[in-house]
Chain A
Amino acid sequence: MKIVLDHLTKKFPSRSRKERSEVTAVGDFCFEIPDGKLVGLLGPSGCGKSTTLNLICGLLKPTEGKIFFGQDDVTNLPPENRGVGLVFQNYALYPHLTVQKNIQFPLENLKGAAKLSKEEMQEKVYAAAKLVQIEGLMDRKPSELSGGQQQRVAIARALVKMPKVLLLDEPLSNLDARLRLQTREEIRRIQKETKITTIFVTHDQDEAMSISDLIVVMKDGYVQQIGKPQEVYDNPVNLFVAKFLGTPPINVFDGNVKDGMLYIGDDAVLKVGSVPNQEVHVGIRPEGFILREDGPLHCNLSRLEVMGRDVSVVSGHPCCQSDTIRSIISAENNVDTDSDTVRFALKPGKVFLFHKETEERIHFEVE
């Protein structure tokens, strides 16, 4: 089922009485989610991700705009008639019901022709439980389960009625790091198996990048960029997106373009073609540095962090907007740790320029 969001907007009235201003939780969201894909909705806390999900599932009514499931306008349909499955951030399992009854709950709501017999229900519940591998826990109460198990039950409950759309609101945020890695793979597997159009909300870019077909990056209620994870990573439209994606994060410098040459401090680091003279933000991915004796960028070496295959060089530069620069180079390079300076050349494809005020991307031709 394809989902179309058409100029979707949600405004909340302001809390304080003095101010009449409204909070725009989601602003002018236009997007067509292709059938059967997994879309990662990504952004910092408070950027409107949950609001977007609640709009799609019908718990909130949009202030403006429309939502289509396939060809049907569902904007004014109540949640119980939309046929979506939703996994809440804190799972919202009914504490007084067993796992079996929790998963069965949505099936018991079916009416008329869709009504199921007891045996059919049990079959479906078992199938859903098997999908998330919790068949052995059917008689437990939610309070007797670990976080990871509860999360699986929540997914099973959302999946059991075979929804046309599956929505997941930061489903992994309560899990420990290891389990998080494991379950995100599992979600990906389940989504591939069932081919249900899925929206996966997270504030963790790693999570979104690793399992999504498409990612949507949001900030303060507005969509910044939509695309395949690698495309967005390689081609951020603005400084926010560039900063938000990637671990370790991108290194940002104050730079200057003069006569087609990019300067960081006094170092002329890169030819940037026909970019007009101006001050810019320079974003350089950690993997965009090449260690070279005669490299143009001079940095103050702090320390090395060896991570097996790679070496992370931690250094500083007066023009860098954060205290440390992190660059990742192959472990085959020999870094002179006694020296207190380190010199880099840059890979042009890993360097992004952004407008000083608007922070929009400035493209340049790589020679």
Chain B
Amino acid sequence: MEKQNFKGWLYLIPAVLFLGVFMIYPLVDVFVYSFEEGYNSASQTYLGVGGYNYSYVLHDPYFLQAVKNTFILVIITVPVSTILALLISVGLSSIKPLRDLFQTVYFLPYVTNTLAVGLVFMILFKKTAYSDGMVNLLINLFGGSSVDFIDGPYWAKMFVLCFYTVWVVMPFKILILTSALASVNQVYYNAAKVDGTGSFRIFRKITIPMISPMIFYLIITGFIGAFKAYSDAVALFGTNLNAAEMNTIVGYVYDMLYGNSGGYPSYASSAAIILFAIVLTITCINLLVSRKHVHYT
């Protein structure tokens, strides 16, 4: 018994070491930094210990903007992408001919290079010397006037960011959901049909509960992914996100470390810890909600 325990720990050592060095230690370190006031990484000195960093970050208008942006992004893209992916997957599962073709088409964005995706979005949205972009052409066609989606009003830029995010995360969700749908035993559908169930009720009462573990997985990872959004915004609006009012929390952390106004690891750490707390809270809420609505079989 004793010996077996010892062996078990032995096998765990590589993983524990790896996690310790690359996850736990940095996490603790960031936590410590976040309370060290006026830390200077060159001289490795600091002035004192306290909550000033947090107070600074929480009063920084750029940070508040970043929090607002991030929350809008999360609240819009997670439900929209999940619901859209669900509808598309159900559609895909119920057609027979050309299913493989459609599946490939929907999966393309996932394997496409970010730069190529950015190019597509430029053609769609960006104003150039020659055109106002495809979307504006459409708007004009219906009698509206052009909108500058990249350098224009806040809502237009937010729309593009959300659109982009939804578009990028969808393929993976569709992939997961189509396979989840395919794994539901046909016999339950047959049973429901014989019992006189309409197709919408079958979807709501049978399909959704049956694939709820996968939906839940997508929601959790979707939340976490959206809270960590940064590179998408850079791809669309360039590196000076603060000026564009399009910064995200992770973007703010990055700027505080390396950006033009950078060199403040203490502020960056505080912001990172705040993000950590937000994600942790949301994930816990998710887990609590899921207890009631997710059915593992």
A, B in one complex: yes
What is the bound-complex CA distance between A353 and B276, given in angstroms?
86
The interface bits of chain B over 153-191 (1 if a CB of A lies within 8 angstroms of the residue's CB, else 0) are 000000000000000000000000000000001011011
Size of interface on A: residues with Cβ below 8 Å to B: 26
Contact indicator B193/A78 (Cβ below 8 Å): yes
Tell me if A306 counts as interface (CB < 8 A to partner B). Answer: no
Residue of B whose beta carbon sits closest to that of A157? B195
Contacts of B201 in A (CB 8 A): 108-109
Tell me if A80 counts as interface (CB < 8 A to partner B). Answer: yes
If A94-B206, A96-B210, A143-B297 touch, whether A109 touches B197 (CB-CB below 8 Å) is yes
Contact indicator B196/A86 (Cβ below 8 Å): no
What is the bound-complex CA distance between A94 and B188, given in angstroms?
7
Tell me if B141 counts as interface (CB < 8 A to partner A). Answer: no
What is the bound-complex CA distance between A85 and B193, given in angstroms?
11
Contact indicator B194/A84 (Cβ below 8 Å): yes
If A90-B187, A143-B297 touch, whether A96 touches B195 (CB-CB below 8 Å) is no
Contact indicator A80/B187 (Cβ below 8 Å): no
The interface bits of chain A over 147-185 (1 if a CB of B lies within 8 angstroms of the residue's CB, else 0) are 000000000010001000000000000000000000000
If A86-B191, A88-B191 touch, whether A96 touches B198 (CB-CB below 8 Å) is no
With both chains docked as a complex, state the minimum distance between the C-beta of A116 and any C-beta of chain B, in angstroms.
13
Contacts of B263 in A (CB 8 A): none
What is the bound-complex CA distance between A124 and B187, given in angstroms?
25
Main secondary structure of the interface of B (DSSP, over half): helix
Contact of A88 among B187, B205, B206, B210 (CB under 8 A): B187
The interface bits of chain B over 123-135 (1 if a CB of A lies within 8 angstroms of the residue's CB, else 0) are 0000000000000
Contacts of A161 in B (CB 8 A): 195-196
With both chains docked as a complex, state the minimum distance between the C-beta of A277 and any C-beta of chain B, in angstroms.
55
Contacts of B206 in A (CB 8 A): 94
If A80-B197, A105-B195, A161-B195 touch, whether A95 touches B190 (CB-CB below 8 Å) is no
If A94-B206, A95-B295, A109-B201 touch, whether A80 touches B196 (CB-CB below 8 Å) is yes
What is the bound-complex CA distance between A299 and B201, given in angstroms?
67
Contact of A57 among B194, B198, B212 (CB under 8 A): B194
Contact indicator A106/B195 (Cβ below 8 Å): yes
Contacts of B205 in A (CB 8 A): 94, 105
Which one of A78, A86, A92, A143 has the highest number of Cβ atoms from chain B below 10 Å of its Cβ?
A: A92
Contact indicator B194/A95 (Cβ below 8 Å): no
Tell me if A145 counts as interface (CB < 8 A to partner B). Answer: no
Contact of A79 among B193, B210, B212, B295 (CB under 8 A): B193
Contact indicator A80/B188 (Cβ below 8 Å): no
Tell me if A110 counts as interface (CB < 8 A to partner B). Answer: yes
Tell me if B109 counts as interface (CB < 8 A to partner A). Answer: no
What is the bound-complex CA distance between A86 and B196, given in angstroms?
11
Contact indicator B193/A96 (Cβ below 8 Å): no
Contact indicator A109/B195 (Cβ below 8 Å): yes
Contacts of B212 in A (CB 8 A): 96
Contacts of B193 in A (CB 8 A): 58-59, 78-80
Contact indicator A92/B196 (Cβ below 8 Å): no
With both chains docked as a complex, state the minimum distance between the C-beta of A53 and any C-beta of chain B, in angstroms.
10
Contact of B194 among A79, A90, A94, A110 (CB under 8 A): A79
Which one of A57, A58, A90, A106 has the highest number of Cβ atoms from chain B below 10 Å of its Cβ?
A: A106
Contact indicator B196/A81 (Cβ below 8 Å): yes
Residue of B whose beta carbon sits closest to that of A142? B297
What is the bound-complex CA distance between A110 and B198, given in angstroms?
10
What is the bound-complex CA distance between A165 and B196, given in angstroms?
14
Contact indicator B197/A92 (Cβ below 8 Å): no
Contact indicator B196/A109 (Cβ below 8 Å): yes
Contacts of B194 in A (CB 8 A): 57-59, 79-80, 82, 84-86
If A96-B209, A96-B295, A96-B297 touch, whether A88 touches B195 (CB-CB below 8 Å) is no
Contact indicator A92/B190 (Cβ below 8 Å): yes
Contacts of A96 in B (CB 8 A): 209-210, 212, 295, 297
With both chains docked as a complex, state the minimum distance between the C-beta of A108 and any C-beta of chain B, in angstroms.
8
With both chains docked as a complex, state the minimum distance between the C-beta of B188 and any C-beta of chain A, in angstroms.
6
With both chains docked as a complex, state the minimum distance between the C-beta of B245 and any C-beta of chain A, in angstroms.
45
The interface bits of chain A over 72-100 (1 if a CB of B lies within 8 angstroms of the residue's CB, else 0) are 00000011111111101010101110000
Which one of B185, B187, B196 has the highest number of Cβ atoms from chain A below 10 Å of its Cβ?
A: B196
What is the bound-complex CA distance between A59 and B185, given in angstroms?
15
Contacts of A110 in B (CB 8 A): 196
With both chains docked as a complex, state the minimum distance between the C-beta of A104 and any C-beta of chain B, in angstroms.
10
What is the bound-complex CA distance between A81 and B192, given in angstroms?
12
What is the bound-complex CA distance between A203 and B154, given in angstroms?
71
Residue of B whose beta carbon sits closest to that of A84? B194
What is the bound-complex CA distance between A74 and B196, given in angstroms?
15
Contacts of B198 in A (CB 8 A): 80, 109
What is the bound-complex CA distance between A172 and B197, given in angstroms?
26
What is the bound-complex CA distance between A58 and B194, given in angstroms?
8
What is the bound-complex CA distance between A96 and B295, given in angstroms?
6
Contacts of A105 in B (CB 8 A): 192, 195, 197, 205
Beyond A96-B212, A143-B297: 17 further Cβ-contacts under 8 Å? A57-B194, A78-B193, A80-B195, A82-B194, A86-B190, A86-B191, A88-B190, A92-B190, A95-B297, A96-B295, A105-B192, A105-B195, A105-B197, A109-B197, A109-B198, A109-B201, A157-B195
**22 CB-based A-B contacts, threshold 8 Å:** A59-B193, A59-B194, A78-B193, A79-B190, A85-B194, A86-B194, A88-B190, A88-B191, A92-B185, A92-B190, A94-B188, A95-B295, A96-B297, A105-B197, A106-B196, A108-B201, A109-B195, A109-B197, A109-B198, A143-B297, A161-B195, A161-B196
Give 8 closest A-B pairs by Cβ, nearest first: A96-B295, A106-B195, A92-B191, A80-B196, A96-B209, A109-B196, A95-B297, A92-B187
Give the interface of A toward B (CB within 8 A). 57-59, 78-86, 88, 90, 92, 94-96, 105-106, 108-110, 143, 157, 161
